[in-house]
Amino acid sequence: MVRLKNHPILDFPTGREVVFTFNGKDIKGIEGEPIAAALHAAGVRVLRHSPTLGRARGFFCAIGTCSSCLMTVDGVPNVRVCTEPLKQGMIVETQKGHGHLPIE
C-alpha cells in the first residue's frame, strides 16, 4: 500500500515523521495519524486474531464503532487503532484473543 500523492482535489496534512514498532519491527508513520493508517500505508492489514477461531482481523469501520481493529499498544490490549493517534516510539503488537490488562 502507498500514500497518496498528487491527488486531484485533496491535499493531505504532512506531519512529523515518527518511528514506532510493529511486532518488534521499526515502521515509519506520521505523528497523529491513526495507528491503523500508518500500518496500512506500510502494507500491514492483519491487526489481530480472533479469540475463539484465531481468524485474522483488520479494520472495518475506521471510525471507532465496530471494534474490529483491537491491538495491543504499549502493553495495553484492546486499543482501537483506527482512531488512536500515532506517537513516536509506540510499541504496537497484533493481539491474540482477549488480551490482558496490565494491572499493578
Partner 1 sequence: MRETDIAVIGAGPAGLAAALACGESGATTLLVDFMDAPGGQLIKQTHKFFGSERQFAGTRGIQIPDIIMDQLSKMPNVALMWGTNASGYYADSGVLTLEDGARFIKAKAKRVIIATGAAEKPLAFENNDLPGVYGAGAVQTLMNVHGVKPGDRVLMVGSGNIGLIVSYQLIQAHVEVVALVEAAGRIGGYLVHAAKLRRAGVPILTSHTVVRALGEETVRAAVVAEVDQSWQVKPGSEREVACDVICLAVGLTPLVDMMWQAGCEMKYVPALGGHVPVRDENMRASNPAVYVAGDAGGVEEASSAMISGEIAGISAARSLGFEVKEADARLAQLKADLAAIRSGPTGEKICAGIKCATVCGGEW
In the complex, least distance from residue 26 CB atom to partner 1, rounded to whole angstroms: 19
Binding mask 62-81 for partner 1 (x = CB under 8 A): xxxxx---------------
Shortest spacing between CB 50 and partner 1, in angstroms: 8
Written as one letter, the residue type at 93 is E
Task: Give me 25's grid cell.
Answer: 519491527
CB of 65 to ligand FES, least distance (A): 6
The residue among 91, 3, 55, 89 whose CA lies nearest residue 81 is 91
Given a contact cutoff of 8 angstroms between Cβ atoms, the answer to whether 63 and 85 are in contact is: no
Q: Please, which residues have CB within 8 angstroms of residue 6's CB and are 6 or more apart in sequence?
A: none
Q: Which residues bind partner 1 (CB under 8 A)?
A: 1-4, 7-10, 12, 33-34, 37, 40-41, 45-47, 50, 55-66, 82-83, 85
